[in-house]
A and B are shown apart, each in its own frame.
Chain A
């Protein structure tokens, strides 16, 4: 089974900041987007069970390889990184086009994508990529079961889950319920150094003349400011349960919440 996992290096959650140019500062220590780790784990479980390979596909500045190496250390086979100066400041729509174009240079049965990203992404790229490639899109998966020529997915719903089926190749979006990501073993870490990270420019994926990248961004950031201060915390200590309850009720009344 040939699987491509879309992974996005993002700043360590809690460390995100905007640079002087108003854009997300991507030189801050990067990790794989938390939600991507779940689909990567799902891909690795499928690899353990069925053989094949797992390719990581990412659009990111060329210098950011540490999170990719960690994902390779977890067990992925190789990585493809689309990197081009023109992509600085690219919007979600550009990202989707770039990833779709890159996928067209790869061979795969299944593409896995995580839920939204911790750096402000919206969880829309998977649907956009699937639509561009005219692949079935099965999102919010809590379970992924490939079968001969197809894939069955349990998709979370408001009242439980739906069981979906589609033919391969397909794009599947995953959730935390796919399973806790494994720690890279020490053997995996040492092996990752010799795994391939192929860098591709826009020209190499056939987008040289296309309107993608920062210069063609469909959205732009105008302003960033810290949120309004919450004010100080009122602390209640040493009260018995009834007094504590009364303090809560009084507070809510005072703030016109009840």
Chain B
């Protein structure tokens, strides 16, 4: 049967994303259990650097040069090339694994249409199972829909599928020895309907994506304003993490939508979630409640977050934030 392909995502600087390294690791482990060949695929205007990085995690990485990716949104370009590769391959892939980023979702949707296969979205766990109960041998995918209120296991009914993998599901683990890059050209590409990138506007530094962060320091309405968020940024820096926010802080204009966590923002699963002035209402909770450790600081003893945090400190965050920063500095220094 066909093997597993992992499509690597390339960031604005041409580098392989952290999530792609995790996806490569998870796929490699799956392939070992399934006894299936696993290879990486990188499609970009300049794929070499990212493909080389991916060889730390997979024995073979196929690099496809797609110059049209400079002026088009990446996902449709990548999908067309991957579908062409799959169509031309001696053994088309059984499973394609993609990181669940905005581009990854676009890629998965397009690829599903081009290949005529189903998608399992938002995998937080990946295992292999033998044929049983009328299902073929295949991946068993764990997901946590409804904001993590339930944990499900799903499978493909056939022997093919696309899997979208969430960040922080597995730690990226390099191989003992580097793999190799194979350049490939693709023919017979079904050209996606054209979308032109007219302009790329940079308004903020490309820090690590909040979904990738191991530690998130989040602020809500209680932070009171943009100044309060610089205190949180300080803490995040000391902990090697990222700053997050609730919808209230974004709507108030204190921070950018890119770091909004919750129902209409990002879903995150960091190792540590430190929430300051966050009430823990359902719209926010569904974006972060599967974090491994949740610590909340809030003046309101009845704040809903107190019901599901691991540690709940009833105190004024304005005093605790600088005190915590001092305590962390003292430990380091």
Q: A and B: direct contact (Cβ < 8 Å)?
A: yes
> Taking beta carbons and an 8 Å cutoff, which residues of A are in contact with B?
13-14, 16, 18, 34-35, 38, 91-93, 96, 115-116, 118-132, 134-140, 142, 152, 154-167, 170, 173, 175-177, 217-227, 230-231, 233-239, 241-242, 244-249, 251-252, 255, 257-258
- Name the CB-closest residue of A to B114: A131
Interchain nearest-CB distance for A205 vs B (Å): 17
Q: How far is the CA of A129 from the CA of B113 in the complex (A)?
A: 8
The 5 closest A-B pairs by CB, nearest first: A218-B118, A122-B121, A127-B109, A120-B145, A160-B203
Chain A residues, CB < 8 A from B186: none
Q: Give the dominant DSSP class at A's interface.
A: mixed
The reply to whether A130 and B193 contact each other, CB–CB distance below 8 Å, is yes
Interchain nearest-CB distance for B252 vs A (Å): 13
Chain A residues, CB < 8 A from B23: none
The reply to whether A120 and B118 contact each other, CB–CB distance below 8 Å, is no
Give B62-82 as 1s and 0s: 1 = Cβ < 8 Å from A's Cβ atoms: 000000000001011001000
The reply to whether B154 and A222 contact each other, CB–CB distance below 8 Å, is yes
Q: Give the dominant DSSP class at B's interface.
A: mixed
Candidate in B102, B110, B118, B195 with the most chain A CB atoms within 10 angstroms: B195
- Name the CB-closest residue of A to B214: A257
Chain A residues, CB < 8 A from B271: 257
Q: Is B205 an interface residue (CB 8 A)?
A: yes
The reply to whether B263 and A91 contact each other, CB–CB distance below 8 Å, is no
- Name the CB-closest residue of B to A246: B327
Among the listed B110, B113, B144, B201, which residue makes an inter-chain contact with A162, where contact means beta carbons less than 8 Å apart?
Answer: B201
Given contacts A93-B118, A165-B195, A257-B293, contact A159 B313 (CB under 8 A): no
The reply to whether A128 and B110 contact each other, CB–CB distance below 8 Å, is yes
Number of B residues with CB within 8 Å of any CB on chain A? 101
**Which of B85-93, B218-226, B304-312 is near enough to bind chain A?**
B304-312
The reply to whether B105 and A176 contact each other, CB–CB distance below 8 Å, is no
Chain B residues, CB < 8 A from A157: 12, 200
Among the listed A158, A225, A239, which residue makes an inter-chain contact with B150, where contact means beta carbons less than 8 Å apart?
Answer: A225
Given contacts A122-B105, A165-B198, A237-B301, contact A137 B193 (CB under 8 A): yes
The reply to whether B146 and A16 contact each other, CB–CB distance below 8 Å, is yes
Q: How far is the CA of A257 from the CA of B272 in the complex (A)?
A: 7
Chain A residues, CB < 8 A from B239: 258
- Name the CB-closest residue of A to B328: A249
Q: How far is the CA of A115 from the CA of B328 in the complex (A)?
A: 38
Q: How far is the CA of A246 from the CA of B327 in the complex (A)?
A: 7
The reply to whether B206 and A159 contact each other, CB–CB distance below 8 Å, is yes
Q: Is B176 an interface residue (CB 8 A)?
A: no
The reply to whether A135 and B193 contact each other, CB–CB distance below 8 Å, is yes
Chain B residues, CB < 8 A from A142: 257
Give B157-189 as 1s and 0s: 1 = Cβ < 8 Å from A's Cβ atoms: 110010010000000000000000000000000
Chain B residues, CB < 8 A from A93: 112, 116-119
The reply to whether B206 and A220 contact each other, CB–CB distance below 8 Å, is no
Given contacts A93-B118, A127-B75, A246-B327, contact A162 B194 (CB under 8 A): no
Chain B residues, CB < 8 A from A231: 310
Chain B residues, CB < 8 A from A224: 150-153
Chain A residues, CB < 8 A from B286: 13, 118
Among the listed B151, B263, B326, which residue makes an inter-chain contact with A245, where contact means beta carbons less than 8 Å apart?
Answer: B326
Q: Is B100 an interface residue (CB 8 A)?
A: yes
Q: Is B297 an interface residue (CB 8 A)?
A: yes
Apart from A137-B193, A158-B206, A224-B152: 8 A-B pairs, beta carbons within 8 A:
A96-B109, A122-B164, A138-B195, A154-B201, A163-B200, A227-B144, A230-B310, A235-B313
- Name the CB-closest residue of A to B113: A131
The reply to whether A16 and B145 contact each other, CB–CB distance below 8 Å, is yes
Q: Is B314 an interface residue (CB 8 A)?
A: yes
| Interface positions of B from 231 to 266, Cβ below 8 Å from A | 239, 257-258, 260, 263-265
Chain A residues, CB < 8 A from B272: 252, 257-258
Q: Is B131 an interface residue (CB 8 A)?
A: no
Q: How far is the CA of A240 from the CA of B260 in the complex (A)?
A: 30
Given contacts A13-B283, A224-B151, contact A121 B121 (CB under 8 A): yes
Interchain nearest-CB distance for A41 vs B (Å): 12
- Would you mind naming 7 contact pairs between A and B with Cβ atoms under 8 Å apart? A13-B147, A16-B146, A34-B263, A122-B122, A124-B108, A218-B156, A244-B315
The reply to whether A13 and B282 contact each other, CB–CB distance below 8 Å, is yes
The reply to whether B112 and A241 contact each other, CB–CB distance below 8 Å, is no
Interchain nearest-CB distance for B73 vs A (Å): 6
- Name the CB-closest residue of B to A140: B102
The reply to whether A164 and B196 contact each other, CB–CB distance below 8 Å, is yes
Q: How far is the CA of A126 from the CA of B116 in the complex (A)?
A: 15
The reply to whether A176 and B112 contact each other, CB–CB distance below 8 Å, is no
Chain A residues, CB < 8 A from B73: 137-139, 155, 162, 164
Interchain nearest-CB distance for A99 vs B (Å): 11
Interchain nearest-CB distance for A135 vs B (Å): 5
The reply to whether A221 and B152 contact each other, CB–CB distance below 8 Å, is yes
